[in-house]
Amino acid sequence: MMTFDVLTLFPGMFSSPLQESILGRASQQQLLQVRLHNLRDWAEGKHQTTDDTPYGGGDGMVMKPEPIARAIAELKARAPRSKVLLMTPQGIPFSHQKACNLAQEEGLIFLCGRYEGFDERVRQALVDEEYSIGDYVLTGGELPAMVMIDAISRFIPGVLGCSDSVEADSFSDGLLEYPQYTRPAVFEGMAVPEVLLSGDHGKIARWRREQQLLRTCQKRPDLLETAELDNEDKKILEQLQSKALESDK
């Protein structure tokens, strides 16, 4: 069973997102466990302080290294092979591929920061890998940790039903997904594409692949650089591109 240890000043933030739906079921089935730890439990003094003012002056507070060191030592003693991860805008961009690789680990310890972040020596001495979930600034590392736990958990065998398998997703072959439709056949004057009602499975599969390529080409052309494309895909793309040039004239 995969173990996620989370070290945070706000363990309450994690309860419902991880207890609902797919992740909730996976925990109940003991495919994974999320252990929440309040960093304050390792702090000292009457006020159990976890932060302090920055050396050199300036705004905001910095998280002190000692409580974090004590906490990580204890979590590592219990799970010696767990990797310690830190969420920060300076980290490696988190991706589908990183999620897949991290799912191979036995355990992960997520260190969630608040305020202006951590004393630099935490990074140097205690952290194995740093990840960013995107180029924007959040108020803490809790949401990034939840995003990562969610994306990683989908790669743990048994977490997804076979109906929503990992292979069928966007990004597994590096392309965006094809459009989906369900009843009614006509909604507010918009009809479902004829081919999907044809019952011709070969034709439907080709249409879907073409839609994936078309969407990726229009919305995320950067993904085509690294996508897994066969000769048929390349032919379809050439046709799409010549059609696009045609309509530009």
Q: Which chain residues interact with ligand 4HQ by CB under 6 A? A: 87-89, 113-114, 117, 132-134, 136-138, 140-141, 144
Question: Which of 41, 169, 230, 232 is flagged as catalytic?
Answer: 169
Measured from the CB atom, is 50 or 88 closer to ligand 4HQ?
88
Instruction: Identify whether 59 is a catalytic site residue.
Output: no
Take residue 115 and report the two structure tokens written for it.
Answer: 């305020």
- Residue whose C-alpha is closest to residue 114's, from 83, 148, 138, 78: 138
Does the annotation count 232 as an active-site position? Answer: no
- 169 in catalytic set: yes
Q: How far is the CB of 56 from ligand 4HQ (least distance, A)?
A: 19
51 CB neighbour count, 10 Å cutoff: 19
* Shorter beta-carbon distance to ligand 4HQ: residue 87 or 227: 87
Pseudo-torsion of CA 113, 119, 123, 126, nearest 10°?
Answer: -90
Q: Of residues 52, 116, 164, 238, which has the active-site annotation? A: 116
**Catalytic-residue membership of 116:** yes
| Residue closer to ligand 4HQ (CB basis): 107 or 113 | 113
Copy the structure tokens of residue 59: 């705004």
**At closest approach, how far in Å is the CB of 27 from ligand 4HQ?**
24
Among residues 75 and 87, whose Cβ is nearest to ligand 4HQ?
87
Of the candidates 154, 150, 176, which has an alpha carbon nearest to the alpha carbon of residue 164? 154
Least distance in Å: CB of 96 to ligand 4HQ?
Answer: 16
Active-site residue (options: 35, 74, 89, 209): 89
Distances 205 to 60, 178, 197, 198, 211 between C-alpha atoms, Å: 55, 10, 13, 12, 10
Starting at the edge strand that comes first in sequence, how are the strands of the sheet with 2-8 ordered?
Answer: 32-38, 2-8, 107-111, 83-93, 129-132
CB of 65 to ligand 4HQ, least distance (A): 15
- What's the distance, CA 47 to chain centroid? 35
**Residues identified as active-site:** 89, 116, 154, 169
